[in-house]
Amino acid sequence: MRRILLLPLLAAFACQQPAPLDKCITPRPQQVETLGGVLNLERPLHLATEVPEAEAAMLAGYLTATDLPLADPLSADDRARLPELRLAYSDDASLPVSEEGYRLTVSRRGVEILSRGDAGLFYGLQTLLQLHDHYGQALPCVRITDAPRFPYRGLHLDVSRHFFDKEFVKKQLRMMARLKLNRFHWHLTDGAGWRIEIDRYPLLTEVAAWRHGSTWQAWRDGGYRYARHDDPEATGGYYTKAEIREVVALADSLHITVIPEIEMPAHSEEVLAVYPALSCSGRPYTTGDFCIGNEATFEFLENVLTEVMELFPSKWIHIGGDEASKTGWTSCPKCRERMRHEGLTTVDQLQSYAIHRISDFLAQHGRRLIGWDEILDGGLAPDAVVMSWRGEEGGRKAAAAGHDVVMTPGSHCYFDGYQDNPTTEPQAFSGYLPLRKVYAYDPAPETMPGHERIQGVQANLWTEYIPTPQQAEYMLYPRLFALAEVAWSDPARMDYTDFHRRALDLTARARRAGYNAFDLTNEQGERLESLGEVDHLARGCRVDYATPWSDRYPAAGVATLTDGIRGSWSYNTRWQGFLESDVEVTIDLGQNRELHEVTADFIQWFSAWVWLPKQVEIALSDDGREFRTIATLRNDYPEHAERPEFRAFGWQGADRGRYVRYRAIHNGRPGGWLFTDEIIVR
């Protein structure tokens, strides 16, 4: 049974210019049939429900918080004179099979929404309310038959790196309901802070939820130190159990399941700072990995999960499972003994042992484990669900093997990346993910083996560089509008031009409703240099590499630097990467030529360990043996600057030569990259 919790959001989306039927509905419905005529809502609708009493009360309570004109309770004679809003369950064979599907019919006599389940009635109301937003008191007569493509349509929010209070979370749930999203993945624990009250372990909220440093960067630069809650310099926070119950109740009323995430066996620095005996070293501030050989580790995790399951009715419980260093396990006597006793030969198998054991524990309580795709390493627990983030490979592998999968690859679903020009946008993490790219994603193409095991798709908002609620909304919207359509709509009916027009309208409405959405009307778009090819003297010429490019970022291989194609805002596209290495190449122009320019672009992207060169040296030669330096250029952009920078290093003047040697000197940082896209010679 759902509690009656009201949703005031939609009333704020005031009627604007009318739009053609399905052109004003997001996500786009599957089937729209125009019936002709108009339903006049100058007379209010009287509500008639043919559903169980509790559901009827929930729907009625929900509708009172919208601006849809509804009549007060009336006599039978009065009701007969008013148009009807009929909400009813039905097993009509013509209805979508999914209980989230619905059929909405608007006629001159009133409105009817039929569905096989209460979620479908709720989503039918969302469509009706969008029609009312656009058409006001004159609703077009129409029949809309609709159902979601995927059962899992999610949003992930990281509240560990930066804490956002319950009201912010509830506000995003309301927008999720409008977009017909139905899974809220709440990333409650990570090294940057523990965010959920656990009665049995009070230090988790007395210390591990607090830190020195008002932002994640300040905490990082200060040595990743935690603080007591009563320290005057402490920042952070956590949700009380009462607050979590309040959020879960609201989500339930909006047909959203809240999936909690409790990180293990890694990303647990905050836990091991206050309970260091659960680490392999037994000392705080030494690792983020639990000791898998220590039985006390499983006692702790099971106790925590028991309290978590008391708060969250979700069938799925997320345990993270990603990015364990595993280094301490190899030398830990307890872990080695565990491996010997269980017949394990690798640390991947040791992690798999931990995942299987937690999966069994959750199964005993009627729950199901879901984790990031690293849970595949060493062998996957039979009933576990894989959330694929390291590209699509893990998800494809799991789906082909018969496991349920949620797709959330960083390439299309990580909303902590820039959505516009990285040099002018607010600080973000890495990557460039514009609206168009989100919309283009297909989580389960029919040619993919096991595509039927893809449960859905999820947007992930990680918050290392997102310290405020305002910036979080800026990063979410309108990209979440696009992912909602990817999750719900038939790919055959999706069209970016049509969606972009709807996104402009929906973004404007969201901003008026108090959401700090990115202003799509001012989008600059892709890096201009990447939109067309550049012609120059070196195009198509031979390039000899004195330093090799990295196989991880080869671009077009040996042709990259003279093929006339420039890189985009994403460094993993047409940019060629050099790891811990200079870039030294020689271009043969084929003959001695008069030269006036030699230039190449480089990137600094601090969070991705990509830096501008320390220095650039440009030299010319007539014979390819004796070179004369014509330019030495030093970089003045600070190495610690975290804002991305795209900068040209070049020479202009007058000289002659056949061979051009271009050398960009690495700044010496271990693990650092140089990226360049084209050496232009004129």
Angle, to 10 degrees, between the axis of helix 166-178 and the axis of helix 241-253? 10
β-bridge partners, 187: 158, 261
**End-to-end CA separation in angstroms for the chain:** 72
H or E element: which one contains 481? helix 479-488
CB 216 within 8 A of CB 464: yes
Catalytic residue among 132, 162, 267, 403: 267
d(CA 621, CA 595): 12
Give residue for tokens 């600080």.
427
Which residues are CB-contacts of 28 (< 8 A; sequence separation ≥ 6)? 22, 485, 488, 489, 493, 494, 498, 499, 502
Q: Is 383 among the residues known to form the active site?
A: no
The single-letter DSSP state of residue 41 is T
Cis? peptide before 613, omega within 30° of 0: no
d(CA 413, CA 431): 11
**Structure-token pair, residue 514:** 């108090």
Catalytic residue among 112, 146, 190, 617: 190
Which residues are CB-contacts of 612 (< 8 A; sequence separation ≥ 6)? 602, 603, 604, 635, 637, 645, 647, 667
CB neighbour class for 320 (10 Å; exposed up to 12, middle 13-18, buried from 19): buried
E strands present in 470-582: 542-545, 576-579
Taken as a whole, the chain contains a residue count of 682
CB 298 within 8 A of CB 334: no
CB atoms within 10 A of CB 405: 29
d(CA 423, CA 78): 62
d(CA 131, CA 23): 10
Catalytic residue among 307, 323, 383, 655: 323
What 3-state DSSP class applies to 251?
Answer: helix
Q: Side chain identity at 660, as an amino acid letter?
A: V
CB 480 within 8 A of CB 408: no
Q: Is 190 among the residues known to form the active site?
A: yes
Give residue for tokens 């097993």.
91
Which residues are CB-contacts of 543 (< 8 A; sequence separation ≥ 6)? 558, 559, 561, 562, 585, 586, 587, 588, 679
The single-letter DSSP state of residue 30 is S
Angle, to 10 degrees, between the axis of helix 333-342 and the axis of helix 347-364? 70
Which residues are CB-contacts of 562 (< 8 A; sequence separation ≥ 6)? 538, 539, 540, 541, 543, 587, 678, 679
What 3-state DSSP class applies to 378?
Answer: coil
Which residues are CB-contacts of 550 (< 8 A; sequence separation ≥ 6)? 577, 578, 579, 673
d(CA 228, CA 230): 5
Phi and psi (nearest 5°) for 266? -120, -170
Pairing label, strands 183-187, 152-158: parallel
CB atoms within 10 A of CB 496: 14
**Structure-token pair, residue 243:** 């607050």
Sign of CA dihedral 242, 244, 245, 246: positive
Q: Which residues carry out catalysis?
A: 190, 267, 323
